[in-house]
Structure 1
């Protein structure tokens, strides 16, 4: 009998959409291993903040993709990071619970992912109702990230609620997957035994990260004609994109480099207004692009940039998708994210680091990187590609996931 695995992640996407394809990539490998896989995701895309799948009056829409069943679940729309986004989280979580009960098949394992904890909680309740194992995937440390970013007190209603959800998830999860090793001490403090924790970081799928066009074609298409530094991903408060604005201001009179910010998010309109006010000639914004087109854009660039807010919850407990995309493309990394990410960039010699939220320091590192010879950058690129394939290849990481899934069979 074929074992059935369910992933629940509100922000999971197929490669034709903007966003992270972690669960799609893992699912491809699980299907190759003979498992049946369903991915429950929202019909509202996080990057575009639009309905990307038309459900009409249905609760969910099933779409087969590469042998995977994507279950697009009806979710309310939001435009900014306000109460409507929180409402969308609750809406998706309740609807995914309802959709799970109506599938007509019983899973063997449910993996609930926590870009926010409420969807993972729906997975936990589904597992208990359907009598299967529940694996929690910790992506962000909620509510700790909210406390560190916004200074909310433990008595704040949202923090109080998330604390209770967090406790339930840690208590009832059969296993816990962390994307960053720095999350492990935090989980142990919360009472999660270390033998229940497995580190499976983000990674790259070799077959999905190869460019389809030449570097020259893409550079011409997007008018990349200088030393091009790209940022790909969310434009939100946690991403601290103001540091890129400050660096661009420092370098505004220097004609040899340009920042390209690709994506969308609640703070993007404010960033665009600030760029116009500062009359920045070396910074451009591009709309979100499907994940399948990211390799072409990165192949055409000269460096990738990672920024995060200077918040303790981000120091050791994040595993940015964009970092691994940059590595696979052989892009030198400019890193202003503190903690584990910066240590990794330094340890493997795949870029330059600067303090978080310090635009002047970032500008200096841009000058340093741009001044490297072509041979020096080529060596850095070779190290990055080798690192991506040897240590962060999805087919290799999927073996660890398979081991967890099959634990009860041994």
Structure 2
């Protein structure tokens, strides 16, 4: 059995962004491996109460059988871009130190972005003569450039150099879709290093509690259209609010926005200005409650702005499929749209077009049997293609291959 060090930016209690790494680690532990996690402190808006020992440079804890090192520093309370950028670079040093003090390991695993963590893992691998597996879920720094967060300047060139060195020094590059795999190769990776390991749905979604979910009273008996997740600029949540305004006279339809994030207050204010009575906001929920809300909904939303070219599909879409609910994909053309079409598990619309979004909601509302059938299709498709057990099988084979050389 292998001793694994896993370096990942976010981890529970941040379930929306750290769920996959947590579930993969849990599955590997079940199979007899040892997993040590190096991660950051959870962001405050994902917590119901302040996290203990926040402010320390390193804090060790035990979490569901995992040995976890929380690394500081943290400067940003609400995703201020400048402070997040500062953390982006400083976290390279803290994660490198976290890896050094984690004890002997056989293989180092990391998830990128941010590319600075992958760079720390690659240098640690060089120093300790251990093989590194890098799990690539987005191509940085190119994605930052395309989104306008970076310009073609010194910082971009530094990050691009880090990316090249990561691809050169990493023994294996896993990624979640063929599209991302092609982008990694275009960015300089050796094709032979790239292995496709898709994301997976939450097994908890198969066994959602039947206990009544706590929702606003005016939701009762309505056709519920739900977005649940982080509320930030890339998610195009303004389109959902605008669509709700267009459907305000459809008394049988109600919208629900669940979660928190940098755009939350702006969305609430917009809803108040529009005087929407068919839209409610619900705070960020624990994992089981989040899944129960998805299960209580009729349609669940995956949403990205048109600038966010979709080369993969987010874990929240797999949660929706695991709960047997139809997907309304408000996303650019890409892997998400392809899966919705292949699985026949929902409808897709072009982002930032509230009229089209509203029309899709009406279509599902007026054809409840179709919406229910699409939900069942998504569940069956997920069971066949996207499970943590299948992902762990692939990672075990990679680890076995790397430890033999």
Structure 1 and Structure 2 fold alike (TM over 0.5): yes
Change in CA separation of 1:240 and 1:406 when aligned onto 2, cut-off 3 Å: same
Superposition deviation, residue 199 in structure 1: 1.1
Change in CA separation of 1:249 and 1:335 when aligned onto 2, cut-off 3 Å: same
Change in CA separation of 1:166 and 1:52 when aligned onto 2, cut-off 3 Å: farther
1:365 partnered with 2:364: no
2:118 aligned residue: 120
Change in CA separation of 1:237 and 1:159 when aligned onto 2, cut-off 3 Å: farther
Superposition deviation, residue 391 in structure 1: 0.8
Change in CA separation of 1:282 and 1:56 when aligned onto 2, cut-off 3 Å: closer
1:232 aligned residue: 228
Distance, in Å, in 1 between the alignment partners of 2:371 and 2:218 is 22
1:291 aligned residue: 287
Superposition deviation, residue 220 in structure 1: 5.3
Q: 1:355 aligns with which of 350, 359, 365?
A: 350
1:336 aligned residue: 330
Per mean C-alpha deviation after superposition, the further-off stretch among 169-178 and 39-48 is 39-48
Residues 229-282 of structure 1 show CA distances to partners (whole Å, capped at 9, x for unaligned) of 111212111111111122112112221112211111112211111111111222
Unaligned runs of 5+ in 1: none
Aligned pairs, number: 401
Distance, in Å, in 2 between the alignment partners of 1:197 and 1:187 is 8
Change in CA separation of 1:220 and 1:58 when aligned onto 2, cut-off 3 Å: closer
Distance, in Å, in 2 between the alignment partners of 1:209 and 1:100 is 35
Distance, in Å, in 1 between the alignment partners of 2:169 and 2:218 is 52
Per mean C-alpha deviation after superposition, the further-off stretch among 67-76 and 386-395 is 67-76
Per mean C-alpha deviation after superposition, the further-off stretch among 79-88 and 323-332 is 79-88
Distance, in Å, in 1 between the alignment partners of 2:238 and 2:216 is 27
Superposition deviation, residue 58 in structure 1: 4.0
Distance, in Å, in 2 between the alignment partners of 1:121 and 1:31 is 26
1:280 aligned residue: 276
Per mean C-alpha deviation after superposition, the further-off stretch among 220-229 and 188-197 is 220-229
2:241 aligned residue: 245
Change in CA separation of 1:144 and 1:46 when aligned onto 2, cut-off 3 Å: farther
Distance, in Å, in 1 between the alignment partners of 2:364 and 2:18 is 27
- Aligned ranges 1:69-218 → 2 under 5 Å: 69-78=67-76, 79-103=78-102, 105-150=103-148, 152-155=150-153, 157-207=154-204, 210-214=207-211, 217-218=212-213
Superposition deviation, residue 291 in structure 1: 2.3
1:271 partnered with 2:267: yes
1:402 partnered with 2:399: no
Superposition deviation, residue 49 in structure 1: 7.7
Distance, in Å, in 1 between the alignment partners of 2:44 and 2:7 is 15
Change in CA separation of 1:370 and 1:392 when aligned onto 2, cut-off 3 Å: same
Q: 2:21 aligns with which of 20, 23, 32?
A: 23
Q: 2:36 aligns with which of 32, 38, 54?
A: 38
Unaligned runs of 5+ in 2: none
Distance, in Å, in 2 between the alignment partners of 1:324 and 1:56 is 32
Distance, in Å, in 2 between the alignment partners of 1:178 and 1:114 is 10
Q: Note if contact 2:139-2:184 (Cα within 8 Å) is conserved in structure 1.
A: no
Q: 2:372 aligns with which of 372, 378, 393?
A: 378
1:388 aligned residue: 382
Superposition deviation, residue 35 in structure 1: 0.7
2:317 aligned residue: 323
Distance, in Å, in 2 between the alignment partners of 1:51 and 1:42 is 17
CA RMSD in angstroms comes to: 2.2
1:307 aligned residue: 303
Q: Note if contact 2:56-2:73 (Cα within 8 Å) is conserved in structure 1.
A: no
Q: Note if contact 1:44-1:75 (Cα within 8 Å) is conserved in structure 2.
A: no
Superposition deviation, residue 334 in structure 1: 0.3
Q: Note if contact 2:106-2:403 (Cα within 8 Å) is conserved in structure 1.
A: no
